[in-house]
Amino acid sequence: MENTKPEFAFTERPVISLVTEMRAYFQDLKSYYSISKGEIISQLDELTDEAKISELQAKLREVNEKIASFSVLGDALSIADTILHTEGMIAELSSKKA
């Protein structure tokens, strides 16, 4: 049985570059939803209609869940990005088949 080194499926993009871009993407999504959260809170401060308040509170919960998810994804990818940029990982991932 031959032991072959796995290859990254996306040959047109280096894995390090892809992780770096994904980290930035999830950070951008977190920022987007954080701004949306502020807008929702501003709207809540102006409302008196209980039905609309309830609707916005549900939307706020949904946005908070998205912020939490994108924050975790961003943090995880930040760790991966840091590790991938170490000398050993750069050498490992840029080396041709061993």
The domain segmentation of the chain, as residue ranges, is 30-94
Please give the structure tokens belonging to residue 7.
């290859």
pLDDT greater than 90 at residue 95: no
Residue 96's pLDDT is what? 61
Instruction: For residue range 14-57, list pLDDT tens digits in order.
Output: 899 999 999 999 999 999 999 999 999 999 999 999 999 999 99
pLDDT greater than 70 at residue 98: no
Question: What DSSP character marks residue 51?
Answer: H
Residue 6's pLDDT is what? 81
Residue 97's pLDDT is what? 53
pLDDT greater than 80 at residue 10: no
Amino acid sitting at position 64: N
Name residues whose C-beta falls within 8 Å of residue 93's C-beta, 6 or more positions apart in sequence: 14, 15, 16, 84
| pTM reported for the whole predicted model | 0.82
Task: Over range 64-90, report the average pLDDT.
Answer: 96
Residue 14's pLDDT is what? 87
Residue 82's pLDDT is what? 96
